[in-house]
Amino acid sequence: MECIIQRRAQFSASHRYWLAELSEAENLEQFGPTARFPGHGHNYVLYVSMMGELDQYGMVLNLSDVKHTIKQEVTNHLNFSHLNEAWPEFQQTLPTTEYLAQVIWQRLAPHLPIINIQLFEHPELWADYQGNAMEASLTVSTHFSAAHRLAHPQLSYEDNCEIYGKCARPNGHGHNYHLEVTVKGNIHPRTGMIVDLAALQKVIEDYVVEPFDHTFLNKDIPYFAEVVPTAENIAIHIRDLLRSPIHQLGAELHKVKLIESPNNSCEVYCSAAELSGAIPPSFVPALANL
């Protein structure tokens, strides 16, 4: 029986976004504060996902061996380091989150049956790499607060209450929504980036957070005048708002995840093929442990 296991590790490191072929003014224009000397630091959190057959002892791998391998190949090198100087790969390509995830994959792949590297630079920014040449994904997390009422305009109050329960009450209710936007693209061989992060964050702010924050969705967002603002419909609308402007940045929108509350969330993808392949059947039993 195949199973997916995951090991968590962490390290603290600094880095600087600076290209020698650019002037100081050009570096500051392209990378903003991250170009400042001598750099800045993060507490990175790494998740290594591995797949394999269960052995007679009920394990895919001995986790002590996995821990030792990650420490020997990755964290011993990177912890309390300046990433630009830690590994030779970063002499040519900047140590962005997405490129760092790719290089960690390359370091671990000869030793472990990895299927995904997920690297958090901080809780609102992380990358995933799955061994697909230069392709990786980058996720930005943000939030907005809004109220809504779940009531279909063509149904009676009694029918809406039957379908939506308390959420159909006339004056609505509110949520602190958490939004995760995942983009896919190829890592640039020099900048190490899938997309200009500041530009991506601005697109999300301009198209979603600023228009949606502190609104009554049914009344303040024209789309929801006739569409019930369930979490699913909100996520679909956000996906449709972001797809084109993200494409114009040179990346592709992959997924939108909307967390309405600790108990309710939904994910929408940009194609049916991505949805059907989002979670391999063998991965489902492991989700509860993530």
| Active centre residues (catalytic) | 167, 214, 260
- In Å, how far from its chain's centre is CA 47? 13
Rg (alpha carbons) of the chain, rounded to whole number: 22
Q: What value, to the nearest 5°, has the Cα angle with vertex 47 and ends 193 and 63? A: 145
Cα–Cα distance, 209 to 25 (Å, whole number)? 31
Which of 171, 178, 238, 156 lies closest to 204, judged by CA?
238
For residues 277 and 52, what is the distance between their CA atoms, to the nearest angstrom?
19
Question: What are the beta bridge partners of residue 128?
Answer: 118, 137
Q: How far is CA 99 from CA 116, 121, 146, 163, 186, in A?
A: 14, 12, 35, 47, 10
Residue from 134, 137, 39 nearest 97 by CA = 137
Token representation of residue 51? 């797949």
Q: Whole-angstrom Cα distance, residue 84 to residue 96?
A: 10
Nearest CA among 121, 83, 86, 89 for reference residue 102: 89
Which among 104, 109, 67, 68 has a CA at the least distance from the CA of 86?
A: 104
Question: Beta 81-82 vs 125-129: how paired, if at all?
Answer: unpaired
Question: What is the distance between the alpha carbons of residues 15 and 262, in angstroms, rounded to a whole number?
Answer: 34
Tokens standing for residue 28:
């500051």
Tokens 């997924």, located at residue: 255
